[in-house]
Structure 1
Amino acid sequence: MSGPGSTAGGLGRVVMVMPTYNEVDNLAWVVGRLRAAQPDLDVLVVDDSSPDGTGELAEELAAGDSALRVLHRTEKGGLGAAYKHGFRVALDSGYDVVGEMDADGSHQPEQLHLLLDALADADLVIGSRWVPGGSVVNWPLRRELLSRGGNLYVRLLLGVSVRDATAGYRLFRASALHAIDLDTVESTGYVFQTDLVTRCLRLGLRVREVPIEFVERVRGDSKMSGQIAVESLRRVTSWGLRERRDQVSAGLARRRRR
């Protein structure tokens, strides 16, 4: 990648981590839009051994763009695992800001400036679908209800204020990722998003949401499934019950000390 010269808006060196699996129809289109919208940023593609040639295409793009780097993972380990790998490489490379976005066009590169501007007084910025001004395009009602309901469940069970804890369009300051301690993060699927925002809030970090327009992919197949949704629900429930147990234990301990 392009190294020390990659800066944006006084934030320092910025890289967008982009996991891929079977995105050969979208990758060049999305990377091209991102490079046009934010030419000062670097891009780190993390490919999970896509059988459709996405990894090979990413290498071709990187050969003509010094700001693009490709990581090849040997197995499809899940979205969270790919992000953790990319985040570690980004931190080891000395980036000041590490972002995440989908490779399917759902997260519009032309809106990334909204997140960059908001990071001036935040540790984590989330491009949110469910704050005032946010929206989704071409989603069936069932999927919108699933996302809204899942986020409501997260807020109620985990006691967090974020409206879109499952969103995947984000910018982290490197200091926030260091504080989280990625080595202790065990979630590897889509619930990884909820895990990290919850950890940030528990640490007292500054989390901001900015409204974005989320556009459903027009090419390729969505990776979201009922099985993934159930697994996310199970994980959030487990975290919530553990937190309630710890709160009860702490309350009983305080009463015994009186």
Structure 2
Amino acid sequence: MNSAGPQHIEGLGRVVVVIPTYNEADNLAWIVGRLRAAQPAIDVLVVDDGSPDGTGAIADELAAADPAVRVVHRTAKAGLGAAYLHGFRVALEAGYDVIGEMDADGSHQPEQLDGMIGALRAGADLVIGSRWVPGGAVVNWPLRRELLSRGGNLYVRLLLGVKVRDATAGYRLFRRTTLEKIDLESVQSTGYVFQTDMVARTLAAGLTVREVPIEFVERVRGDSKMSGAVATESLKRITAWGLRERADRVRKALSR
């Protein structure tokens, strides 16, 4: 991506952050600028799902001005997970050693990436910027939304038996080897359940997940893609998926 020559982060190699977008014209240049300022050695891959508000054109302008920024244009809004999977494949093909996730709306602060990078250097295979570990926080969230997120994550822990406290978080750094080991081609979740799916797959592969506390800031511009209906649908999908996974494990155990 960077015609000035590949940039490396000591101990990790080449790093890219994937930013999926849909109608983020008000935020994209702002968040990409913050990311490039905070971490000049990290490249950016914008995956735009055919935003009708001109986000794709803004992304193209950013890429034309900065060789560390690349854009993938998709023709339809197919879900957060589908956008990330597309971005992951592009990044893997480009030879990146670490591939990250970040929202375009400023909820995930690029200035907090240092702590996540440190956890990756310390041996983690997946690092999650977590709202719900000690030191983590949310800003400008109503109590109802906080309870919904905390409750949803508790439900995930109980259903799937994982110890991660913020399995639904979308601020992440994956090692290349992690994405290769969990077999992206078999991932079918495309919506918000995708985040939980990726955590469970990483743990099932015997890999190490570390959570680093972050301050999550509710967007101040544009419309949130998360709603009560979306959260409820995600929990329904997590339930169906989790029960299916458990049934598969039982069948495998009985067949041995």
On the 8 A contact 1:9/1:116 being kept in 2, the answer is no
- Aligned residue for 1:75? 76
- Aligned residue for 2:124? 122
SS of the counterpart of 1:44? Answer: strand
- Aligned residue for 2:149? 147
- Aligned residue for 1:213? 215
SS of the counterpart of 1:136? Answer: strand
Distance in 2 (alpha carbons) for counterparts of 1:250 and 1:98: 32
Distance in 1 (alpha carbons) for counterparts of 2:98 and 2:252: 36
On the 8 A contact 1:123/1:207 being kept in 2, the answer is yes
Match of 2:234 among 228, 232, 235: 232
Q: 1:209-252: CA deviations, max 9, x gaps?
A: 00000000000000012332122112211122223334544565
Distance in 1 (alpha carbons) for counterparts of 2:88 and 2:253: 37
Q: 1:168-216: CA deviations, max 9, x gaps?
A: 0000000000111111000000110000010000011011000000000
One-letter amino acid of the counterpart of residue 189, structure 2 = S
**Structure 1 unaligned blocks of 5 or more:** none
One-letter amino acid of the counterpart of residue 171, structure 1 = L
- Aligned residue for 1:2? 2
- Aligned residue for 2:63? 62
Distance in 2 (alpha carbons) for counterparts of 1:71 and 1:133: 35
One-letter amino acid of the counterpart of residue 42, structure 2 = L
Calculate the aligned-residue CA RMSD, in Å.
1.3
Which has more radius of gyration? 1
Change (3 A) 1:138 1:241: same
Q: Bigger CA drift: 165-174 or 218-227? A: 218-227
Distance in 2 (alpha carbons) for counterparts of 1:7 and 1:208: 22
Listed as ranges, the matches of 1:13-24 within 5 Å are 13-24=14-25
- Aligned residue for 1:200? 202
One-letter amino acid of the counterpart of residue 192, structure 2 = Y
Q: 1:19-68: CA deviations, max 9, x gaps?
A: 00111111111011100000001000000111110000111111110000
* 1:51 matches 2:52: yes
SS of the counterpart of 1:45? Answer: strand
On the 8 A contact 1:180/1:200 being kept in 2, the answer is yes
Match of 1:173 among 164, 172, 175: 175
SS of the counterpart of 1:16? Answer: strand
Distance in 2 (alpha carbons) for counterparts of 1:130 and 1:37: 24
Distance in 2 (alpha carbons) for counterparts of 1:99 and 1:169: 7
SS of the counterpart of 2:53? Answer: coil
Distance in 1 (alpha carbons) for counterparts of 2:8 and 2:199: 25
Match of 1:131 among 116, 130, 133: 133
- When normalised by structure 1's length, the TM-score is 0.95
Q: 1:129-182: CA deviations, max 9, x gaps?
A: 000000000000010000000000000000000000000000000000011111
One-letter amino acid of the counterpart of residue 83, structure 1 = Y
- Aligned residue for 1:110? 111
On the 8 A contact 1:124/1:171 being kept in 2, the answer is yes
Q: Bigger CA drift: 162-171 or 242-251? A: 242-251
